[in-house]
């Protein structure tokens, strides 16, 4: 029979897995407490959370949530980064932190219900984030509107120039 603490932890994991955009699995062995605090702060700034759970409880919760099997990825001590909104931002935070802290290893991830490897997580981190996409979209819309305004203005100017030239030619003729 499972103990009360494990049952409560399992429920907490299931709650973290609800409405999940992505989950990243990292090995944090070798990081100091201050480095882990810095990592958590960076992850929170990307609107995600990093938590440490027992691997066996994570396997059970993942199975119950319909996520793929992660037996090999859940070997050793792991931390789990849960991104509910923008998975790219949290992957970037992990990738950037791992560049300056070799002790952090990105092991794998789950995105759109699929298990992805370390290289795919790094590829996700290289994508433009939500804010960057919004900025690109706004720039594109602005460019179209500017082009349309220039075109509409050009038609009026062309008509005015034509009328002016015709008016100049009439008195001369």
35: exposed, middle or buried (Cβ count in 10 Å: 0-12, 13-18, 19+)? middle
Residues 6+ positions from 135 with CB-CB distance below 8 Å? none
pLDDT at site 136: 67
What pLDDT score does 171 carry?
A: 63
Contact indicator for 57, 9 with CB cutoff of 8 Å: yes
The pLDDT, as a whole number, for residue 127 is 74
If we measure between CA atoms, which residue out of 36, 53, 33 comes closest to residue 44?
Answer: 36
**Do 41 and 128 touch, CB atoms closer than 8 A?**
no
pLDDT in tens, the chain (173 residues): 478 998 899 899 999 888 889 999 999 999 999 999 999 999 999 999 999 999 999 999 998 888 888 888 888 899 999 998 889 999 999 999 999 988 899 999 999 888 988 888 888 887 776 666 667 667 777 777 677 777 777 767 777 777 777 777 776 55
pLDDT given for residue 167 in this prediction: 73
30 token code pair: 């070798």
124 vs 46: CA distance, rounded Å: 14
Residue 132: the pLDDT is 66
Whole-structure pTM value: 0.71
Angle at 126 between CA 96 and CA 54, to 5 degrees: 60
DSSP 8-state class, residue 2: -
- Give the pLDDT of residue 120: 85
């Amino acid at each position: 029979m499972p103990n009360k603490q494990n049952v409560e932890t399992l429920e907490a994991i299931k709650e973290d897995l609800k409405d999940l955009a992505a989950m990243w699995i990292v090995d944090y062995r070798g990081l100091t407490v201050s480095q882990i605090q810095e990592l958590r702060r960076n992850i929170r700034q990307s609107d995600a959370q990093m938590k440490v759970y027992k691997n066996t409880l994570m396997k059970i919760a993942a199975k119950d949530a319909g996520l793929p099997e992660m037996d090999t990825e859940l070997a050793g001590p792991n931390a789990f980064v849960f991104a509910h909104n923008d998975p790219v931002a949290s992957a970037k935070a992990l990738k950037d932190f791992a560049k300056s802290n070799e002790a952090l290893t990105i092991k794998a991830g789950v995105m759109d219900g699929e298990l992805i490897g370390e290289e795919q997580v790094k590829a996700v981190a290289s994508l433009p984030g939500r804010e960057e996409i919004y900025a690109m979209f706004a720039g594109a819309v602005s460019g179209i509107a500017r082009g349309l305004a220039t075109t509409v203005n050009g038609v009026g100017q062309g008509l005015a120039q034509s009328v002016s030239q015709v008016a100049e030619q009439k008195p001369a003729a």
